[in-house]
A and B are shown apart, each in its own frame.
Chain A
Amino acid sequence: MSWSIGKNIIRKDAVEKVTGTAKYTADAPTSNMYHVKLVISQHAHAKLKAVNVARAWDVSGVRAILLGQSSLPLTGDEVKDRPILAFDRVRYFGEPIAAVVADEPFQAKKAAELIEVIYEPLPVVQSPKEALQRDAVLLHENLASYDKVQYVYPEKGSNVANRVKIRKGTIEQALLESDVVIEENFSLSPSDHTAMETRCVIAEVKQDGFVHFTSTTQAPYRIKEQMSNYFNIDEGKIIVNAPYVGGGFGGKVALHLELIAYLATVAVGGKQVKLHYTREEDMVTAPGRIGLEATIKLAATKDGKITGAKLLYLFDTGAYSDKGTMISKAAAATCTGPYQIDNIWCDSLAVYTNHPYATAYRGFSHSELLFAFERAMDILARKLGMDPLELRKKNAILPGQTTPTQVPLNSSTVGDLPRCINKLKELMNWQEGTVIPIDDEKVRVKGISCSWKTSTIGPSASSGVALLFNPDGSINVLSGIVEIGMGAKTILAQLLAEKLKMDIQKIHVHMEVNTQTTPEHYKTAASRGTLMAGRALVKAADDAIRQLKQIAAQVLICSPDDLDVGYEKVYVREEPDAFVEVKDICYGYKYPNGYAIGGQIIGKGTYTLRHLTNLDRHTGIGKTGPEYTIGAQGVEVEFNTKDFTYKILKAYSVIDAGKVLNPQTAIGQIMGGMSMGLNHASSETFVFNDEGIVQNPRFRTYGPFRYGNHPDYIVHFLENPHIDGPFGARGVGESGLIGMPAALANSLSVASRVELNRLPLTPEFIWHEKKAGNNDDLV
């Protein structure tokens, strides 16, 4: 019987969030700050002929105007290709060109509007395929000379920022020997995270030389590390605060505003400056979601065993690589979806274009590659005349088999896909059929997909937790996880309550992260909070238990081995009536005569990901992440066959979660992910004009779901434990999302009887494809 795990414990941030007292970066009082406003590029690709700032200085309150210059460092996580402020040339619409620092926001804005930029437009590259053509304009002529990390491979004289190869088995032979082959192209354009909180940073250099940031970040410790590298500041002298973050979805992993804000504060003698993006800047200037062009070729026997996959993933990383190179790697590592295929050839590329640049997005390549791959699975099933669920079940990856990067799997690392498929089949009433007529115009139609996800973060990423006891026996939990919405810090409290069998109300979780005083958590990303911080917490709890037993043993005059900790007591296991209360020993113990022993109990624990490697350059052999979260998902849609409009009625997820730690939180993560995946699949995208200008960088034209767009959600968890995870849990933060685009596209392809291979799936797009497919005029 569990104490706290598996229960719907109310979130620790609940009261602050429903009363409006939760503080986010932009909520800090600004009376003592200057404000920064950017001038951003109005062209997707142009030479900067001149930037005239004279008139801007006439605005009262202007303190500094910053322009890009070649002496400033180039930046980037894997390839240092991005100037902090553009100079000589702009490569995407929205790129920062200048920054004005002024007393008041309206003064900074007014001055920024008076800065005149003279452009000389250059040809615009709008897709990876275009960028790979022999005569394509190069985004980065100096690509080969940029600093980069070792395991990323930009290709000289091209627009290729990275190429990852997977070579397993012999693909050409598999294609020759197969009964059935399909080959299809798929694509989706870049888009954006649009977290409700736009990015904001406050920066200051104090008189003692310490540099302070408060930022809307998922990666405060990486800000510290990277700012130290770029500007040669001692890492210990950089302090980053991360208060509550109003949604991240990967977008706040990137170092972006902090670089500009640092230059701005230095320009005004270290005084506090605030840079707060508008929605439009947040969408186009800050990095967004990656686009993809994919070609999938599958070979199978006539009874549906897939024998080979030849895959080309061309990721549109936009003007700069940021996380694009790692996204191409993550896609390569799991390129086939959750299937056992003996012969795999995959090239996964990050390609420069003149689009806004890409960073991590919830799923980190998986929703994109699964859209392509899982669409291909349905197309293959149709060609084979096979039920799409049966095809997936027949090829489902199982314990004992190996991944595309040749990592052997077991039931702990991979979970149980066939059972997920069986459960989905039952929940969706699959035997009823997949197309059910409603009336002359409408049909109810079903579509499915399967998914898997592991993380691709630094091979040595680690997390630490400190537990500080209070004299009343309550405990303060310190963890470097940023509370971006997923409730991870409540999960940590639950894990601790479980370990100590204590009242969760006496566990106080510190929500804000301060890199000077909070143990490091590598990045709040990749669904790695529960595994990494959870394991660190369990270790810290064990450390505290050891200390409590040690001091209690002296009080109870016994061996620590004979003691247990629980119910806010340390007691003799065999005789629970012999005990000492935790509150009487957690600050040391005082004997009646006044002697004292021990001191405050401080539990500590760290966890580092184990046995991860880089991928071999030629074969892709290697291990990028610990465990896989696997799932089967589906949708049920009401589709109008006359005008191609549709309503999503139901959305299903069956996820092998390992162990559900807080059901309501887990379901919330899955439902939120499903909503985001369906939203992306049906309406979200950047719309570019011929010049590469984003036409819809605001909510009213971008198309976010609103209340009432949501379907009924049906969420079911399997619990095959990941034995390395805390209490067996797997990461589930991304699993709701990643199969949804394919499931929706599969259902609408069945409904419309045309293969829909591009996102988003607007009625107009379906109409267009029908028209092309039928070769007649539908209107």
Chain B
Amino acid sequence: MVKNEVTLHVNGETRSLYIRNAETLLYTLREKLGLTGAKPGCLNGDCGACTVEVNGAAIKSCIMLTIEAANQQITTVEGLQDAPIQTQFVEKFAFQCGYCTPGFIMNCNTLIEKYPEANETVIKKWLESNICRCTGYKEIEDAVKAVLTSNQADSSV
């Protein structure tokens, strides 16, 4: 089994490790770095439970090879510190079983950073890449809109 060394920048830390070339970023994060916040749900990009940020973009880590992520800035849910979207997920009851939650939070967080003025269409376009089977999506809608509205209010002051 051939393994190569890669350097990953994850949640502000630089980590060097040996990986198989075929390893996905999701596998490496979970199995090599113990960052199990990103979840496997489909392993083919359908469900978004494995979403992380790579250089500020929301990426489904199950369809990115680890070697593609070498030397890039990666943020997983474990790297967020009291992000407003986390607080709103708690307050709006935007999770039930919690399995899709880290992926949703990472996708919402990236959306909020990139499109602070996001309208309904933009929100829908972003969030329809993730699946939740417990909620009826309403609570997630409330959470993401609460953060966007609050940011917009702050910036208009």
- Where the two chains meet, the residues of A that have a C-beta atom closer than 8 Å to any C-beta of B are 8, 10-11, 13-24, 26-27, 29-30, 60, 106, 193-198, 244-249, 276, 278-279, 484-487, 664-665, 668, 671-672, 674-676, 698-700, 704-710, 713
Contact = CB atoms under 8 A, between A and B. Distances in A.
B74 interface: no
A20 B49 CA distance: 11
Nearest to B36: A27
Interface of B: 1, 20, 22, 30-31, 34-44, 46-47, 49, 76-78, 80, 86, 89-91, 93, 95-102, 105, 123-124, 127-141
Which residue of A30, A106, A486, A699 has the most chain B CB atoms within 10 A of its CB atom? A699
A752 to B, nearest CB: 25
A708 B128 contact: yes
Contacts of B42: 279, 698-699
Nearest to A279: B42
Contacts of A22: 98
Contact of B97 (A10, A485, A706, A708): A485
Contacts of A484: 97
B78 A19 contact: yes
A735 to B, nearest CB: 14
A18 B96 contact: no
B137 A709 contact: yes
Contacts of A700: 44, 46
A707 B128 contact: yes
Given A249-B133, A710-B138, 10 more contacts: A18-B101, A19-B86, A20-B102, A246-B97, A246-B100, A484-B97, A700-B44, A707-B130, A707-B132, A710-B141
Contact of B36 (A23, A196, A279, A665): A23
A119 B102 CA distance: 43
A344 to B, nearest CB: 34
B40 A672 contact: no
A671 B136 CA distance: 5
A10 B90 contact: yes
B47 to A, nearest CB: 5
B34 A713 contact: no
Contact of A710 (B47, B99, B105, B137): B137
A196 B78 contact: no
Contacts of B134: 196, 247, 485, 672
Contact of A707 (B40, B76, B93, B124): B124
- Shortest Cβ-Cβ A-B pairs, 5 listed: A20-B37, A246-B99, A485-B97, A17-B98, A675-B136
Nearest to A196: B99
24 contacts: A11-B90, A17-B89, A17-B101, A18-B86, A18-B90, A18-B101, A20-B38, A20-B76, A21-B78, A30-B31, A198-B40, A247-B97, A276-B40, A279-B42, A485-B97, A487-B96, A671-B135, A672-B136, A674-B136, A676-B133, A707-B127, A707-B128, A710-B138, A713-B136
B58 to A, nearest CB: 13
Contact of A247 (B86, B124, B133): B133
A197 B139 contact: no
Nearest to B83: A18
A105 to B, nearest CB: 8
Contact of B41 (A14, A23, A197): A197
Nearest to B89: A18
A60 B39 CA distance: 28
Contacts of A14: 89-90, 95
Nearest to B82: A19
B99 A707 contact: no
A485 B96 contact: yes
Which residue of B105, B132, B140 has the most chain A CB atoms within 10 A of its CB atom? B132
Given A27-B30, A674-B136, A710-B141, A19 B77 contact: yes
A8 to B, nearest CB: 8
B135 A672 contact: yes
A668 B135 contact: yes
Contacts of B31: 30
Nearest to B80: A19
A198 B41 contact: yes
Contacts of B89: 14, 17-18
B142 to A, nearest CB: 11
A676 B132 CA distance: 10
Contacts of A487: 96
Nearest to A107: B1
Contacts of B40: 26, 198, 276
B135 A10 contact: no
Contact of A668 (B39, B46, B76, B96): B96
Contact of A194 (B37, B77, B133, B138): B133
Which residue of A13, A21, A29, A706 has the most chain B CB atoms within 10 A of its CB atom? A706
Nearest to B91: A10
Nearest to B97: A485
Contacts of A709: 137
Nearest to A28: B36
A29 to B, nearest CB: 7
Contacts of A671: 135-136, 138-139
Contacts of B80: 19
A672 B127 CA distance: 17
A30 B33 CA distance: 12
Contacts of B130: 706-707
A17 B95 contact: yes
Given A19-B77, A21-B78, A196 B137 contact: no
Contacts of B133: 193-196, 247, 249, 676, 704
Contacts of A664: 93
B100 A278 contact: no
A24 B38 CA distance: 11
Contacts of A195: 97, 99, 133
B83 to A, nearest CB: 9
B93 A668 contact: yes
A485 B137 contact: no
Given A24-B99, A664-B93, A710-B138, A196 B132 contact: yes
A668 B77 contact: no
Given A24-B39, A668-B93, A699-B42, A196 B100 contact: yes
Nearest to A668: B93
A196 B39 contact: yes
Contacts of B139: 668, 671
Contacts of A27: 30, 36
Which residue of B44, B86, B99 has the most chain A CB atoms within 10 A of its CB atom? B99
A196 to B, nearest CB: 4
A58 to B, nearest CB: 15
B5 to A, nearest CB: 19
B138 A708 contact: no
Contacts of A676: 133
Contacts of B47: 196, 279, 699
A704 B93 contact: no
A474 to B, nearest CB: 21
Nearest to A11: B93
Contacts of A23: 36
A279 B137 contact: no
A20 B78 contact: yes
Contact of A20 (B36, B127, B131, B136): B36
B137 A704 contact: no
A197 B135 contact: no
B136 A485 contact: no
